Amino acid sequence: MELRQLRYFIEVAEREHVSEAAVHLHVAQSAISLQISKLETELGVQLFERAGRNIKLTHIGKIFLHHIKTAIKAIDYAKGQVDEYLNPEHGTIKIGYPTSLASYLLPTIISAYKNKQPSVSFHLHQGSYSSLIESVKNGDINLALLGPVPPEDEEINTRILFTENLSALVPINHPLAEKKSLALSELRNDDFVLFPAGYVLRRIAVEACRQAGFKPKTASEGADMDAIKGLVSAGMGVSILPDGTFYDSTPRFTAKIPIEAPRVRRTVGIITPKTRELAPSEKDFYQFIKEFFTVLEHYQ
């Protein structure tokens, strides 16, 4: 059983089409068919069956695919560890992040680190709160910035880097737009623009409104920060967003107002796996992040 055969098998299995797999792999279709045939002969089972002009996995083929993908991921990880060990200053750092940390925090950290290690490259993975936690647990990535920081469990380490406030964002023509601060209960009759159900920032906003004595009326939803801000700018409602998303500027036709009661805050930090070692370049980056925010906190 050869590694090449296994990679061919995975590509064909996921595309359910030999010719499409051949195009993607830049290999002749006949070469892929030959290697799949050799693999089936060695295993003594049929992995694929015809389905019209396409092919699909047999039952045992599906079982084989599940385990082989895990094995290939482990092999690629091991090879990456070797490459990192041989030359950590030229490694690739995979890091996940949510939309709420994309505009300021992530670029600031990466820019500062690139000044220290210009040859290191980054592979950035944007995802939802829960998907990033799962990606660290299952080995897709080893580092993820998150806010709020989840509880530490048997699979992940957590580190809080800082805590930030959340503020109200209202249209510029809102009756409260000129206020220096507000109680969240003052927005009880407003329409809200929130993230969809399942997003952690929606949960934080809804919980804050509950503490203020009301349930927010959701008029519109946006799946990313720009969409939320754009809908507020268009007068579709008000929102509650982290202060870190306003570092560059407050969006046009809106006003940002600090919330004085209840105080709405979130932790921001980084998570890493407990069950895997970080690559040398990842360890160096992780240490840099810790020191970066320790210095920042000292000056603040």
Q: For residue 193, report the phi and psi dihedrals to the nearest 5 degrees.
A: -110, 115
Predicted local distance difference test score (pLDDT) of residue 280: 87
Helix (H, G, I), strand (E, B) or coil at 204: helix
Q: pLDDT (tens digit, 9 = 90+) per residue, 34-73?
A: 999 999 999 999 999 988 778 899 999 999 999 999 999 8
Task: Retrieve residue 55's tokens.
Answer: 């092919």
Q: Is 189 exposed, middle or buried (0-12, 13-18, 19+ CB in 10 A)?
A: exposed
Buried b (16+ CB within 10 A) or exposed e, 61-80: beebbeebeeeeeeeeeeeb
Domain ranges of the chain: 3-85, 88-162+267-299, 165-265
Q: Which two tokens stand for residue 275?
A: 């069950």
Helices and strands (DSSP H and E) totals, the chain: 9, 12
**Predicted model pTM:** 0.71
Averaged pLDDT of the chain:
91
Whether 3-85 shares its CATH topology with 88-162+267-299 is answered: no
Higher pLDDT, 75 or 231: 231
CA distance 114 to 129: 26
Question: With respect to CATH, is domain 3-85 assigned 3.40.50.2000?
Answer: no
Does the pLDDT of residue 80 top 90, yes or no?
Answer: no
Residue 230, pLDDT score: 95
Q: What is the pLDDT of residues 94-111, one digit of tens each?
A: 999 999 999 889 999 999
| Banded pLDDT at 86 (limits 50, 70, 90) | low
Burial code (b: 16+ CB inside 10 Å, e: under 16) for 143-166 equals: bbbbbbbbeeeeebebeebeebeb
Architecture of the structural domain at 165-265: 3-Layer(aba) Sandwich (3.40)
Task: Report pLDDT digits (tens) over 178-194.
Answer: 999 999 999 999 999 99
150: pLDDT strictly greater than 80: yes
As given in the structure block, the two tokens for residue 272 are 């890493």
pLDDT in tens, 4-17: 899 999 999 998 88
217: which strand partners?
A: 191
What pLDDT score was predicted for residue 154? 93
Of residues 162, 136, 125, the one with CA closest to residue 147: 162
Which residues are CB-contacts of 65 (< 8 A; sequence separation ≥ 6)?
Answer: 9, 10, 13, 57
For domain 88-162+267-299, give the CATH number. 3.40.190.10
State the pLDDT at residue 298. Answer: 54
